[in-house]
Amino acid sequence: MFSKNKNETSSKSQKNQEKPRIPSILSEDLHINGDLKTEGDIQLDGVIDGDIRTHSLTVGASAIVNGSIVAETINVSGTVNGTITGTVVVLASTAKIVGDIIHQSLAIEAGARIEGMCRHVDPDRAAELAGPTRPSLVVTEGSEEAEAS
């Protein structure tokens, strides 16, 4: 009598999954030293000294990223000093990029500045290129002694 219909419960859970994502907003007065990683969306207006891995990233006109970016969708109006890897990359007229852009789709407005290479990749190779953004180094205790000998 008081039990819920299974169809009502499943339709509510589907509605929760279909909600648009609310981006994490990093304001203009925010300065972060470190990497950011989320499966959500980020709207950046401040300064990030580190790498960013996210679903969707919007780099505002006042924003500065000193590190690499990996995302499905990347919209840049500000400054990026590092490699950009994305499925869809859009550079506004105010964008300043110092680094390479690896993309499947690239749109560049007149006035955007790029110092680096733009490289198109097939969807098959995109996953392997979006791997670790920094080389993994292993240092053992005896490595310094071995080099000194």
Give the number of domains in the chain.
1
Residue range(s) defining the domain that contains residue 52: 22-132
Segment 54-70, tens digit of pLDDT? 999 999 999 999 999 99
- Report if residue 15 sits inside a domain: no
Indicate the pLDDT class of residue 23, thresholds 50, 70 and 90.
confident
Lowest mean pLDDT among 12-21, 31-40, 57-66: 12-21
Question: Does 54 map to a domain?
Answer: yes
pLDDT in tens, 93-143: 999 999 999 999 999 999 999 999 999 998 776 555 555 544 434 444 554
pLDDT at 122: 85
Residue 147 burial class via C-beta count within 10 angstroms: exposed 0-12, middle 13-18, buried 19 and up: exposed
